Amino acid sequence: MKHQLLFFGMLSACFSATPGLARPPYSRCTAAFLSNKLIVTSYSPKGRCQLPASATGILTVQTVALTPTVTKPLRNVEFSIAIRDKATGTVHLYTRQTYRHYPVKSVLANCKKGDHLILLTTDRQYVLPHNEILVL
């Protein structure tokens, strides 16, 4: 029951935007995907994101349609990538450019086990609650 309440709380936060051309900040739900597969274990406050250092495929951030059982990708949005170093906690911007898709192998080649990929949306209308991906 608690899990359902958390899910519906997140869902209502995502859909609380007022209609119109200009969207209020942080009103559209997004998630990180690797080759169209959701990276987070569950789209909830307890969800975790992790990838093996050997992962391959295309990294995207997409708007999502949420139901209690499915998180469906809808449309790619622009994002950039930073890396948080495990040893020092330092965050550095990996790419100054923005992308709608990026080969994950390229960024993972610059990471060590325990580092985090940090995905940054470029538009304040997007909510990306699971924006850090642990490198295994």
Interval 47-105: pLDDT, tens: 999 999 999 999 999 999 988 888 889 999 999 999 999 999 999 999 889 999 999 99
pLDDT at 17 over 50: no
Please determine, for residue 3, whether its predicted confidence score (pLDDT) is greater than 90: no
- What is the predicted pLDDT for the residue at 10? 52
Instruction: Kindly state the average pLDDT of the residues 118-130.
Output: 94
Rg (CA), the chain: 15
Domain that holds residue 41: 2-135
The owner of tokens 């940054």 is: 120
Q: ∠ CA 120-23-61 to the nearest 5 degrees?
A: 30
If one counts the domains in the chain, the total is 1
Within 10 Å of residue 20's Cβ, how many Cβ atoms?
A: 7
